[in-house]
Chains A and B, each alone.
Chain A
Amino acid sequence: QVQLQQWGAGLLKPSETLSLTCGVYGGSLSVNYWSWIRQPPGKGLEWIGEINYTGSTNYNPSLKSRVTMSVDTSKNQFSLKLSSVTAADTAVYYCARMFYFGSGNYYIDYWGQGTLVTVSS
């Protein structure tokens, strides 16, 4: 049973960089893709991007200029950095596993517990 445990700073000031890490337990980073999703308070889900064990990434075009994802296979962890945050980036951030089963076919089967990140001066 795969478990995802995430951590990172929950309160940021505008212009700072958001940084979150997700540990993968009971499974290997070497299969599937690993993603970040966010949800502003009271709103819907937004996919931020994905990374695989080689470090190959794919980002949401609307966030691409500010997002960096990385992977540490030795620790079985992957991370998210989002630069130049504003109040609009206030959200619960989830790490997740994206199961890939063919061209254009994915589903998210495991989620982290979520981290509320608040951006406020």
Chain B
Amino acid sequence: QSVLTQPPSASGTPGQRVTFSCSGSTSDIGSNTVNWYQQLPGTAPKLLIYNNDERPSGVPDRFSGSKSGTSASLAISGLQSEDEADYYCAAWGDSLNGYYVFGSGTKVIVL
């Protein structure tokens, strides 16, 4: 039921830079800010990026977000083994009465 489209997986070796996208529409990403969440196995998601490109306190600056038009991207530079997790984008959708929509999720694999 995801409205935002993400690639199922992305991979890289330690130290590499990994980037993946989140594609939406004019009524969600195109109109509102994008957030990114990291979910480690067996745990609740954690806020990674908010307001398109801002990092909460404690999130390493290896993580960066960007947005352009109806798409957003998350980049992880200097990939580390502990970055292996599921990553979800999300934004408010203005359709109907409005609701929060998540992306389909991208699993990052550290080779």
Q: Which of B18-26, B27-35, B76-84 contacts A (4 or more CB under 8 A)?
A: B27-35
Which 10 residue pairs spanning A and B have beta carbons closest together?
Answer: A104-B32, A107-B50, A111-B44, A47-B100, A45-B102, A107-B35, A44-B105, A104-B92, A105-B33, A61-B96
When the two chains form their complex, are residues A62 and B105 in contact, meaning their CB atoms are under 8 A apart?
no
A58, A107, A109: the one contacting B98 at CB < 8 Å is A58
Q: Hey, which bits of chain A sit against chain B, CB under 8 A?
A: 35, 37, 44-47, 49-50, 58-62, 94, 98, 101, 104-109, 111-114
Known: A47-B100, A94-B45. 20 other contacts (CB 8 A): A35-B100, A37-B102, A44-B2, A44-B103, A45-B37, A45-B105, A47-B102, A58-B98, A59-B99, A61-B99, A94-B44, A104-B33, A104-B98, A107-B50, A107-B51, A107-B90, A108-B37, A108-B47, A108-B90, A111-B45
A-B contact pairs, 17 of them (CB 8 A): A35-B100, A44-B2, A44-B104, A45-B88, A45-B90, A45-B102, A47-B102, A58-B97, A58-B99, A104-B94, A107-B50, A107-B51, A107-B90, A108-B90, A109-B50, A113-B44, A114-B44
- B92 pairs with A106, CB closer than 8 A: yes
Which parts of B54-111 form the interface with A (CB within 8 Å)? 56, 88, 90, 92, 94, 96-105
Specify the chain B residue showing the minimal Cβ separation from A112. Answer: B44
Given A35-B100, A61-B99, A113-B44, decide whether A46 and B50 contact each other with a Cβ distance below 8 A.
Answer: no
Size category of the B interface is: 20 to 34
Residues on A with C-beta less than 8 A from B47 are 107-109
Nearest CB in chain B to that of A62: its residue: B1
Of residues B31, B47, B99, which shows the largest number of chain A Cβ atoms within 10 Å of its Cβ?
B99
A25 to chain B, nearest CB (A): 16
Chain B residues positioned under 8 Å from A98 (CB to CB): 100
